[in-house]
Amino acid sequence: MREMLSIGIDTSCYTTSVACTDGKSIVFSKGTMLSVAFGDRGLRQSEGLFQHVKQLSPLLCELLSTVDKNNVRCVCVSAAPTAKPDSYMPVFLAGLKQAETLAAALDVPLICADHQSGHIRAALYGNEALLELGRFFAVHISGGTTDLLLVEPHRDAPYRIETIGCSTDLHAGQFVDRVGVALGLAFPAGKHLETLAMQAEEKTVKLASAVKGTNCSFSGAESAAQRLLHTVPNAELAYGVYDCLARTLAKMFSEAKANYGDLPFLICGGVASSGLLRTLLKKRFRGRLYFGRPVLSSDNAVGIALLGADRSVSWKQ
């Protein structure tokens, strides 16, 4: 029996990614970070789109050289940031246009998904038991989102997703990056800031945690951190950022649990790759926490490829 492969493409901020899966295992996965000048805190969409266009073709050529193209059943691409009707970012056009061409050349269906659903599906890899529960919470924490979601698996779409909480200003990843860059770290600053935080000898820096219901705010904490730049050791401040993130998320989780029931939480997104944050969250919140593999938490196309494989299975049924 021929294996049936699904190709995934994701062109988000800040990684160009391609992947291939047979629905059960990862056949191929590779990504290339976009280049951000030292000291900058991001890229304009036009520059991100330009870099994706340059980086995507070599990645796809490498993928196609490692798989049997006759076994490809579909091409799945992240065409938007989220599943909301008005969700749009120009960087996703790079992946969408390449995916359209590739699907036509291979004579297979093109499936359009969204970046957030891809993150959820990547985190579900190894946590598929959650799909049997009917619904669960997903928490997408990255540079572009701090979303608390109620997720229901659905046959005709990846999931039904209801946003029940979010940040009203800065996102978790922006908080990390702004403090990290101010400390002289490269963007994106997550891994560097975490390494610095792990060196903290004292852990007394407490940045205010602002939560109202299931919504949060990080602008006040970021401003407080900026004021402490030259008054506390860098490692202590870095640890304070992760401590603030954990306390904030734990409060949001507790409110969601009180309002919607004792459902499990699936934590996904680039910020969720932090081992320190995972440890602090487990200490702060009494509830069922599920994490994706760290390597699949940052932006990648594995979740998108798996979404394509999921849809292919539904077609056969």
Question: Using one digit for the tens of pLDDT, what is the confidence trace for 225-267?
Answer: 999 999 999 999 999 999 999 999 999 999 999 999 999 999 9
Token reading at 105: 């050349």
- Distance, in Å, from the CA atom of 205 to the CA atom of 200, rounded to the nearest integer, reads 10
Read off the pLDDT of residues 57-108 as tens digits, 9 standing for 90 and up: 999 999 999 999 999 999 999 999 999 999 999 999 999 999 999 999 999 9
- Distance, in Å, from the CA atom of 132 to the CA atom of 126, rounded to the nearest integer, reads 13
pLDDT at 312: 76
Question: 172, 245 in Cβ contact below 8 A?
Answer: yes
Nearest CA to 59 out of 109, 20, 4, 25 is that of: 20
Average pLDDT, the chain: 95
- Distance, in Å, from the CA atom of 97 to the CA atom of 116, rounded to the nearest integer, reads 19
Q: Both 88 and 199 in a single domain?
A: no
How large a percentage of the chain has pLDDT more than 70? 97
Residue 16 lies in a domain: yes
Q: Both 179 and 92 in a single domain?
A: no
Q: Both 105 and 78 in a single domain?
A: yes
CATH number of the domain where residue 309 is located? 3.30.420.40
Q: Both 253 and 309 in a single domain?
A: no
Count of domains observed in the chain: 2
Residue 141 lies in a domain: no
- Distance, in Å, from the CA atom of 297 to the CA atom of 275, rounded to the nearest integer, reads 11
Residue-number span of the structural domain to which 284 is assigned: 172-291
Per-residue DSSP letter, 156: T
Contact partners, residue 308, CB within 8 Å, separation at least 6: 6, 7, 8, 73, 74, 75, 76, 111, 113
Read off the pLDDT of residues 127-179 as tens digits, 9 standing for 90 and up: 999 988 889 999 999 999 999 999 998 766 678 999 999 999 999 999 999 99
